[in-house]
């Protein structure tokens, strides 16, 4: 498995990294013992590390480089905007042209009446913004007790205090005494992990929707502000819900006057074969958060879209006491506009829906025949392989996570980057991936799976 490099230059970077750099979501001991992988370049779907190795990035960075690496058009637009106006804020009734134009483009792209955009820099900030705006909305509607958010186990909504409280990861909650008060979690529509043997995936999804109804009943609808969900749970293990789930959730939210929030940070910008996951699953959201694919990760930017009637209520309440120095940063906004223009020009979303998406899903299904894989699932260009001890009983490995991490490492050594979440191996390649590159990905993952079986003696 990958260890500290033999190449002197790489070793120098690794030594400096060990000395000074604190990494997110990494055990510092593993950095100390084995060194980091230093990435120095990229083109299309491939990265180049400091040893000169080319590696297929089947994760599009962190689910974000939708257009692929090395697009000079984005670099040119960023440079031109830096020349013209590198920064100005959107506070105090100011605006910049890219921020205005991006708000218009997002209103045009998004489904329904999500006609107003608030900008921030990351998915976490977008979700924090939603928590504050939703609570403000209910205050202004004279229903100040409606404050609680309901979310799901294995949801990922970010790392800030509120976003991590929305998330459904016990390990994250352990750091910083989370969740904060006012955040509740229910089961997700995840048959492989939560379904009983007697249930079909649709049965489990119906039970997961019922869990929402029961939670609202338990808390009292007068205390529940919103339900938040990723159209497809992403970092929690790529869990596409059966078709009966979202319509039922939507009905329950409407009947109880609970706002419906879609976290499109991963599913936005073509990942599921439509511009937004809400379109793939027919969700009529009151708020949407988006980030990542909006600029293909070239610069940080995120947005909260809200329905016109929601904005109308917020706009009657005086100053919106919320914002970030870089809300609507003109360079990030200009890059996002160009990214969306290129995606449209190249028909990338339709390509995911009609061509590479189905091809990738078929490739995943072939990997499901591997003895370590209990289930392959996905939608569009996001997918997961559930690694299990016994494929007939869905028995998981103990302790959870070691097999997934071993597979991640073996895949890297085979030349493909995947993401392991527990023992679920996820992929989410750039939307620009070709069929040949999907074949390359599949072969390398197969090698990674084989080596995992060999080295762990499974």
User: What's the CA dihedral at 308, 63, 450, 390 to 10 degrees?
Assistant: -30
Could you tell me the smallest distance in angstroms from the CB atom of residue 426 to ligand PLP? 11
* Count of all residues that appear for the chain in the document: 458
Run of H or E including 261: strand 259-263
Closest-CB residue for ligand PLP?
123
Region label for 43, one of left (φ > 0), alpha (ψ between -120 and 50) or beta (otherwise): beta
Task: Confirm or reject binding of residue 231 to ligand PLP (CB under 6 A).
Answer: no
20 to 59: interface string for ligand PLP, x by CB under 6 A: ----------------------------------------
Residue with tokens 């998330």: 167
Q: Of 58, 291, 340, 388, which one interacts with ligand PLP (CB under 6 A)?
A: 291
Task: Confirm or reject binding of residue 234 to ligand PLP (CB under 6 A).
Answer: yes
CA distance 3 to 150: 42
DSSP 352: I
Task: Confirm or reject binding of residue 169 to ligand PLP (CB under 6 A).
Answer: no
Task: Confirm or reject binding of residue 329 to ligand PLP (CB under 6 A).
Answer: no
55 to 74: interface string for ligand PLP, x by CB under 6 A: -------x------------
Task: Confirm or reject binding of residue 124 to ligand PLP (CB under 6 A).
Answer: yes
Do the beta carbons of residue 62 and residue 40 sit within 8 Å?
no
Q: What is the DSSP string of 370-408?
A: STTEEEEEEETTEEEEEE-SBTTTTBPPSSTTHHHHHHH
Could you tell me the smallest distance in angstroms from the CB atom of residue 158 to ligand PLP? 3
Q: Of 49, 57, 248, 263, which one interacts with ligand PLP (CB under 6 A)?
A: 263
Q: Of 205, 261, 266, 438, which one interacts with ligand PLP (CB under 6 A)?
A: 266
Which residues have CB under 8 Å from 116's CB, separation 6+? 103, 107, 305, 306, 307, 308, 310, 311
CA distance 361 to 380: 7
Task: Confirm or reject binding of residue 158 to ligand PLP (CB under 6 A).
Answer: yes
CA distance 446 to 63: 21
Q: Of 149, 154, 156, 192, which one interacts with ligand PLP (CB under 6 A)?
A: 156
Task: Confirm or reject binding of residue 153 to ligand PLP (CB under 6 A).
Answer: no
Stretch that binds ligand PLP, among 204-212, 259-267, 374-382, 397-405 (CB under 6 A): 259-267
Q: Of 67, 114, 235, 262, which one interacts with ligand PLP (CB under 6 A)?
A: 235
- The residues binding ligand PLP (CB under 6 A) are 62, 122-124, 127, 156-158, 230, 234-235, 263, 265-266, 291
């Amino acid at each position: 498995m990958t260890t500290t490099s033999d190449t002197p230059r790489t070793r120098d970077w690794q030594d400096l990294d060990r000395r000074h750099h604190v990494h997110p979501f990494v055990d510092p001991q593993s950095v100390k013992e084995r060194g980091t992988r230093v990435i120095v370049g990229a083109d299309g779907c491939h990265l180049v590390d400091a040893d000169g190795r080319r590696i297929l990035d089947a994760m599009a960075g962190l689910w974000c480089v939708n257009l692929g690496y090395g697009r000079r058009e984005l670099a040119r637009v960023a440079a031109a905007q830096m020349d013209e106006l590198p920064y100005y804020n959107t506070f105090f009734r100011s605006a910049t042209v890219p921020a205005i134009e991006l708000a218009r483009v997002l209103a045009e792209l998004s489904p329904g009446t999500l006609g107003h955009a608030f900008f921030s820099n990351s998915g976490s900030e977008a979700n924090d913004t939603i928590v504050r705006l939703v609570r403000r909305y209910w205050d202004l509607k004279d229903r100040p007790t409606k404050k609680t958010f309901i979310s799901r186990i294995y949801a990922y909504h970010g790392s800030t205090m509120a976003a991590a409280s929305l998330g459904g990861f016990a390990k994250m909650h352990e750091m910083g005494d989370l969740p904060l008060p006012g955040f509740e979690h229910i089961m997700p529509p995840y048959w492989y992990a939560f379904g009983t043997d007697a249930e079909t995936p649709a049965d489990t999804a119906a039970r997961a929707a019922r869990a929402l109804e029961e939670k609202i009943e338990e808390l009292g609808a007068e205390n529940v502000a919103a339900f938040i969900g990723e159209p497809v749970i992403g970092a929690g293990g790529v869990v596409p819900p059966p078709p009966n789930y979202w319509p039922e959730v939507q009905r329950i939210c409407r009947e109880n006057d609970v706002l419906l929030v879609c976290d499109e940070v991963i599913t936005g910008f073509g990942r599921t074969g439509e511009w937004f996951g809400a379109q793939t699953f027919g969700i009529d959201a009151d708020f949407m958060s988006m980030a990542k694919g909006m600029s293909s990760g070239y610069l940080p930017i995120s947005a909260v879209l809200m329905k016109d009637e929601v904005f109308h209520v917020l706009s009657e309440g005086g100053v919106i006491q919320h914002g970030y120095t870089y809300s609507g940063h003109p360079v990030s906004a200009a890059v996002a506009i160009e990214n969306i223009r290129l995606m449209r020009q190249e028909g990338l979303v339709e390509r995911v829906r009609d061509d590479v998406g189905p091809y990738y899903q078929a490739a995943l299904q072939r990997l499901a025949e591997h003895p370590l894989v209990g289930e392959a699932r996905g939608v569009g260009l996001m997918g997961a392989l559930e690694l299990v001890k016994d494929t007939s009983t869905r028995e998981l490995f103990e302790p959870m996570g070691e097999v997934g991490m071993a597979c991640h490492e073996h895949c890297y050594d085979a030349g493909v980057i995947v993401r392991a979440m527990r023992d679920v191996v996820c992929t989410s390649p750039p939307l620009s991936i070709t069929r040949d590159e999907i074949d390359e990905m599949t072969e390398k993952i197969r090698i990674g799976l084989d080596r995992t079986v060999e080295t762990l003696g499974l």
